[in-house]
Amino acid sequence: MTASVIDGKAIAAELRARVAAEVTRVKQDHGLTPGLAVVLVGNDPASEVYVRSKHKQTQEAGMASFEHVLPADVAQGDLIALVQKLNNDPTVHGILVQLPLPKGLDTQAVINAIDPAKDVDGLHPVNAGRLASGMNALSPCTPLGCIILAKSVHPSLEGMNAIVIGRSNLVGRPLVQLLLNENATVTIAHSRSRDLPKLTAQADLVFAAVGKAEMVRGDWIKPGATVIDVGINRLPAADGKSKLVGDVAYQEALKTAGAITPVPGGVGQMTVACLLVNTLRAASAINGLKAPAV
């Protein structure tokens, strides 16, 4: 048996098209253009690439895109002052401060300064608390993308055994809450968990978000399980360059899993698409409109 490969690129493109259609409708019916502001501090090459991609896709969806680039040595107070200015700007409905921030800046203080209604990264404690309480909340984009990818294979996740390997605030913890909202039975595991292979082998859905290259081996996976690989790790390749791999040993898992996301071309594609979803949802909520159909 060879697993079917979940095409994150195609699913993300379809989601972006649905967002663009809703943006057009909101503009026509309400004269509202959703706006996303991205704040980049310093010149981390990976972050710069990611911000360019966000800018391009935001504009392609018909939204307003605002970019703010600050030097790496910006004072904490100046960064927070910019965030507060964006909080008060009626043309901005989503604020995203690109992480990681340079050393010397207090990441949590910056996140706390964002208006929770505009927190399209879903990291503000108010949104994290609302999500944990089963209330409506802006959810982090990557976990949201993971759920959409899993539901492309299983339209309902109800009653399925899921394991989330990794407990970061960005992916693992919010993903657990989203799975609970889908009525899945969830195990959260991490680097200290005992007998991780045995725990993983019991799961119908495996979400690997631990940040360790190819840690999850093919023989850990229950035959026919769906595997969503959140990891992006660089390994040296034979030609002297580096290759991108996930947290799952992909070639091994292909022989056991029922469906699997590739790296690249899987979860990463969904993150920006879900950022557009969150911006549209935030714009609608801030303006008292009903939730968009995405």
Q: What is the pLDDT of residues 199-221, one digit of tens each?
A: 999 999 999 999 999 999 999 99
Q: Which of 115, 119, 121, 247 is catalytic?
A: 121
Q: Which of 57, 98, 177, 269 is catalytic?
A: 98
pTM (global) more than 0.85: yes
Residues with Cβ within 8 Å of 35's Cβ and at least 6 positions away in sequence, in order, are: 63, 64, 65, 66, 91, 92, 93, 94, 279, 283
Kindly state which CATH superfamily the domain 31-115 is placed in: Leucine Dehydrogenase, chain A, domain 1 (3.40.50.10860)
pLDDT on residue 242: 85
**CATH architecture assignment, domain 141-269:** 3-Layer(aba) Sandwich (3.40)
Examine the residue annotation and report whether 98 is marked as an active-site residue of this protein. Answer: yes
The DSSP secondary-structure symbol of 42 reads: S
Tens of pLDDT along 139-153?
Answer: 999 999 999 999 999
Examine the residue annotation and report whether 121 is marked as an active-site residue of this protein. Answer: yes
Residues 267/171, Cβ–Cβ less than 8 Å: no
pLDDT on residue 191: 81
Residues 211/166, Cβ–Cβ less than 8 Å: yes
Examine the residue annotation and report whether 106 is marked as an active-site residue of this protein. Answer: no
Strands (E), 49-198: 64-70, 94-97, 161-165, 185-189
Residues with Cβ within 8 Å of 26's Cβ and at least 6 positions away in sequence, in order, are: 32, 34, 280, 283, 284, 289, 292
Domain with CATH 3.40.50.10860 in the chain: 31-115
Domain with CATH 3.40.50.720 in the chain: 141-269
Structure-token match 């029922």, residue found: 258
Q: Cα-Cα-Cα-Cα dihedral of 252, 256, 257, 261, to 10°?
A: 20
